[in-house]
């Protein structure tokens, strides 16, 4: 009975995370075009965090002082974009990837992510902001920007200076996670605006171009392929539909396989119940996946429960050798799965240290102007009592990507995983 209750509580909490937000006919929404409207939204956001945040001590941060420091800037903001940037800078001081704010135009749907991009993904490789992906057909691709090229300037500001400025303004220390997030958002800005990007290519030639920011949408799901006798499974996020499709597909994918690579390098987390269902395909029924607790001490546990896997008959956890791939992008529920597999000695973990972003929200808060605020209301600890927030999961074998790997289209972590399973 206890397991059933805890799972129902968990399901409610994480279902609320994606529940639609209803704003009525919009007649009562305030406008951030006025000082009064901006302050109303600012105060509502600050007070909601004050009341709900999982840590009433705010990690030692003086939250009242943050209100005093950022409120005047919010009042003076020239437009909605500038106003929300002030809110984000204040929230960034919490150093918490789950507490975040979206303007009315953004209205982020986690399950169907819509975001502003220039068609380029940047990560820090060998201590340098490096192009990891260029969208085919984009202006960036037409400018001959290539994965492996290094970013040297943005709007004529040296990129090192810009990174330092943004981290200093947000009050962030130069640790791995904060720096990772700062570099990943270097091109952020409003859709329809432009950014001048300077970069160095493989031949050390400096180039520059102006790129337009535009809306794009990403489809989350999973994919599978066979590399000889190895089954490679990639999961982008944990949703109920992904978990069901994954469980239905797994038996045929694993037929005659001698090992499994589970690629979670692009997995930002998702529904904890869906993650528990995926975990049930690799761990025994009733395995403790850890505990969430709010500021009052109210808590619930996650467990594997193979019978929860809907209409998939006779589906038992696979015993095949397993290797899990991780990166700094591996976040939230994905980190919980990695930690459980590692602690139970069910898998070898290869790649880089995970995000260390393992908090949860109860529901999404509607701001007075139609914006959305997410607040971390639950902390998490593993079954062994280890807190992953700000720490992450360390791989058994660290394998880092180099610029030479990117240019040569090599995947050293995947190559090692295959060798370990052969």
pLDDT in tens, 83-123: 999 999 999 889 888 899 999 987 666 667 778 899 999 99
The CA distance from 78 to 86, in Å, is: 11
Domain 1-104+220-422 has CATH 3.90.226.10: yes
Model confidence at 167, pLDDT cuts 50, 70, 90, reads: confident
Residue 199 is predicted with a pLDDT of 98
Residue 21 CB contacts under 8 Å (≥ 6 apart), including other chains: 107, 364, 366, 372
Q: Is residue 101 a contact partner of residue 45, using CB atoms and an 8 Å limit? A: yes
The DSSP annotation for 297-348 comes to --EEEEE--GGGSTT-TT-----S-EEEEE-TT--THHHHHHHHHHHTT--E
Copy the structure tokens of residue 58.
Answer: 């705010």
Please, what is the average pLDDT of the chain?
88
Of 81-95, 303-317, 343-357, give the lowest mean pLDDT range: 303-317
Q: What is the pLDDT of residue 171?
A: 64
At 129, the pLDDT band (50, 70, 90 cuts) reads: very high
Mean pLDDT along residues 394-407: 96
The answer to whether 363 and 21 are in contact (CB under 8 A) is no
Percent of the chain with pLDDT over 90: 68
d(CA 377, CA 390): 16
Residue 310 above 60 pLDDT? no
- Secondary structure of the chain: what % helix, strand, coil (to 5)? 35, 25, 45
Contacts of 154 (CB under 8 A, 6+ apart): 162, 186, 187, 195, 196, 197, 198
Give the phi and the psi of residue 226 in degrees, each rounded to 5: -110, 130
What is the pLDDT at residue 3?
A: 42
- The confidence score (pLDDT) of residue 69 equals 95
pLDDT of residue 389: 93
Per-residue pLDDT, averaged over 125-143, amounts to 95
Q: How confident is the model at residue 154 (pLDDT cuts 50, 70, 90)?
A: very high
**What is the rounded CA–CA span in Å between residue 313 and residue 232?**
23
List Cβ neighbours of 265 (8 Å cut-off, separation of 6 or more).
325, 326, 327, 329, 330, 351, 413
Higher local confidence (pLDDT), 111 or 80:
80
- When pLDDT is cut at 50, 70 and 90, the band that residue 306 belongs to is low
pLDDT at 6 over 60: no
Backbone dihedral angles phi then psi of residue 3, each to the nearest 5 degrees: -65, -40
What is the spatial distance between Cα 157 and Cα 179, in angstroms, rounded to a whole number? 18
Q: What is the chain's alpha carbon radius of gyration, rounded to the nearest angstrom?
A: 22
pLDDT of residue 20: 31
Percent of the chain with pLDDT over 70: 88
- What's the pTM? 0.87
Find the mean pLDDT for residues 172-186.
Answer: 78
Q: What is the pLDDT of residue 21?
A: 27
Q: Can you tell me the mean pLDDT for 164-168?
A: 84
CATH T-level topology, domain 114-217: Pdz3 Domain (2.30.42)
Among 34-38, 75-79, 299-303, the range scoring the smallest mean pLDDT is 299-303
User: Rounded to an integer, what distance in angstroms lies between the CA atom of residue 328 and that of residue 355?
Assistant: 5
Query: What is the three-state SS of 178-226?
Result: HHHHHHHCCCCCCCCCEEEEEEECCCCCEEEEEEECEEEECCCCEEEEE
Which whole number is the average pLDDT over 126-148? 95
* Nearest CA-CA partner of 63 in 77, 73, 48, 74: 48
Q: What is the pLDDT of residues 13-57, one digit of tens each?
A: 443 343 332 233 344 689 999 999 999 999 999 999 999 999 999
So where are the chain's domains? 1-104+220-422, 114-217
């Amino acid at each position: 009975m206890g397991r059933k209750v805890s799972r129902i509580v968990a399901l409610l909490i994480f279902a609320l995370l994606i529940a639609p937000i209803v704003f009525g006919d919009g007649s009562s929404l305030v406008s951030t075009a006025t000082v009064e409207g901006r302050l109303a939204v600012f105060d509502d956001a600050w007070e909601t965090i004050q009341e709900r945040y999982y840590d009433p001590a705010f990690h030692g941060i003086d939250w009242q002082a943050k209100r005093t420091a950022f409120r005047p800037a919010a009042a003076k903001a020239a437009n909605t974009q500038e106003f929300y940037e002030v809110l984000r800078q204040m929230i960034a001081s919490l150093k918490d990837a789950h507490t975040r704010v979206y303007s009315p135009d953004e209205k982020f749907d986690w399950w169907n992510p819509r975001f502003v991009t220039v068609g380029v993904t940047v990560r820090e490789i060998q201590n340098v902001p490096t192009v990891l992906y260029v969208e085919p057909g984009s202006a960036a691709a037409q400018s001959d920007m290539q994965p492996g090229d290094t970013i040297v300037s943005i709007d004529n500001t040296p990129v090192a200076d810009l990174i330092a400025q943004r981290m200093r303004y947000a009050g962030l220390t130069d640790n791995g996670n904060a720096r990772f997030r700062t570099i990943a958002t270097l091109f952020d800005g409003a859709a329809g605006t432009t950014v001048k990007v300077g970069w160095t290519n493989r031949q050390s030639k400096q180039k520059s171009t102006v790129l337009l920011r535009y809306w794009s949408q990403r489809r989350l799901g999973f994919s599978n392929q066979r590399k000889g006798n190895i089954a490679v499974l990639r999961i982008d996020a944990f949703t109920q539909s992904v978990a069901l499709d994954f469980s239905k597909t797994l038996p045929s994918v694993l037929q005659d396989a001698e090992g499994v690579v589970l690629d979670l390098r692009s997995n930002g987390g998702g529904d904890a119940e869906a993650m528990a269902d995926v975990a049930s395909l690799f761990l025994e029924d009733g395995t403790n996946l850890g505990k969430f607790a709010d500021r009052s001490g109210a808590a619930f546990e996650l467990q594997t429960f193979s019978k929860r896997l809907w209409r998939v008959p006779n589906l038992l956890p696979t015993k095949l050798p397993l290797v899990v791939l991780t990166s700094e992008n591996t976040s939230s529920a994905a980190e919980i799965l990695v930690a459980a597999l590692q602690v139970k000695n069910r898998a070898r973990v290869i790649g880089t240290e995970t995000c260390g972003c393992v908090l949860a929200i109860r529901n999404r808060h509607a701001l007075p102007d139609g914006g959305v605020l997410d607040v971390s209301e639950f902390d998490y600890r593993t079954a062994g009592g280890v807190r992953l927030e700000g720490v992450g999961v360390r791989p058994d074998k660290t394998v880092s990507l180099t610029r030479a790997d990117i240019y040569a289209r090599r995947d050293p972590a995947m190559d090692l995983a295959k060798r370990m399973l052969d």
